[in-house]
């Protein structure tokens, strides 16, 4: 059997479906619901079997079009850095506040993607975020939590 990445993904999906199915059977239902025609675990159980069925078929049946991905040409480094910056952004946004973290996130992302026009980078981060915040918070009345701006008295 020709093992390719699609088959490996299908195998992972098969294992995931098996785990999902096992967890579905573990869902606690009310005693009076145990033998009901439909309870909280009925639909997930069908889904688990459907996952096993389709991923199983994908594993067994021949793959008519093998997808070949040239990993040498993929930009893993920049993608990884961008994901890392996004995680740091997510971790700090609540504590530090929307304005500062978002502006820094944008500035850092521009930098790591190779941008070096500092003035443009600044304009498209701090003032841009301020304008966007004004649109959401000031005009559209969408609440934005920002402890930093609140602490310096800019935001009520």
Partner 1 sequence: MIEGILIGLTTALTFQNILMVMVGCFFGTIIGMLPGLGPMTAIALMIPITYGFDPATGLILMAGVYYGAVFGGSTSSILLNAPGVPGTVATSFDGYPMAQQGRAGKALAIAAWSSFAGGTLSAIYLLFMAPSLSKVSLSFRSPDYFALMILGLTAIAAFSSKGQFLKAMMMVVLGLMLASVGQDSLSDITRFTFDNMNLTDGISFVLVVMATFAMSEALTIILKRNDPTSAAKQVSLTELGSIKINKEERTKMYKTIPRSSVIGFLIGVLPGAGATIASFLAYGMERNVVSDEEKEKFGKGSVNGLSAPETANNAACSGSFVPMLTLGIPGSGTTAVMLGALLGFGVQPGPRLYMTNPEIFWSIIMSMYIGMVILLILNLPLIPYIARILAVPKNYLIPLILFFSVTGIYVMSFNNFDIYLMIGIAVVATFLRLYDFPMPPLILAFVLGGLMEENLRRSLLLSNGSWEFLWDRTLTACILATTILIVVWHIYKTFKRKN
81-140: which residues touch partner 1 (CB under 8 A)? 82-83, 86-87, 89-91, 93-94, 98, 102, 105-106, 109-110, 113-115, 120, 124, 132, 136, 139-140
Tokens, residue 114: 């190779």
Round to whole Å and give the CA distance between 65 and 88: 39
Count CA within 13 A, CB hemisphere, residue 107: 15
Nearer to partner 1, 33 or 154 (CB): 33
Size of the site for partner 1 (CB under 8 A): 71
Shortest Cβ distance from residue 134 to partner 1 (Å)?
A: 12
Round to whole Å and give the CA distance between 121 and 125: 6
* Burial class of residue 36, CB neighbours in 10 A (0-12, 13-18, 19+): exposed
Site for partner 1 in 1-30 (CB under 8 A): 5-6, 9-10, 13, 17, 20, 23-24, 27-30
Site for partner 1 in 45-64 (CB under 8 A): 47, 50-51, 54-55, 57-58, 61-62, 64
């Amino acid at each position: 059997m020709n093992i390719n990445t699609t088959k490996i993904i299908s195998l992972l999906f098969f294992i995931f479906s098996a785990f999902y199915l096992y967890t579905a059977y573990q869902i606690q239902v009310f005693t009076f619901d145990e033998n009901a025609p439909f309870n909280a675990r009925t639909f997930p159980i069908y889904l688990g079997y459907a996952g096993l069925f389709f991923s199983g078929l994908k594993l067994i049946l021949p793959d008519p079009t093998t997808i070949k991905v040239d990993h040498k040409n993929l930009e893993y480094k920049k993608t990884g850095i961008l994901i890392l910056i996004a995680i740091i952004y997510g971790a700090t946004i609540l504590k530090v506040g929307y304005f500062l973290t978002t502006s820094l996130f944008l500035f850092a992302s521009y930098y790591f993607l190779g941008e070096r026009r500092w003035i443009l980078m600044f304009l498209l981060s701090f003032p841009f975020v301020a304008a966007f915040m004004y649109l959401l918070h000031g005009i559209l009345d969408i609440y934005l939590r920002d402890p930093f701006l609140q602490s310096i008295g800019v935001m009520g």
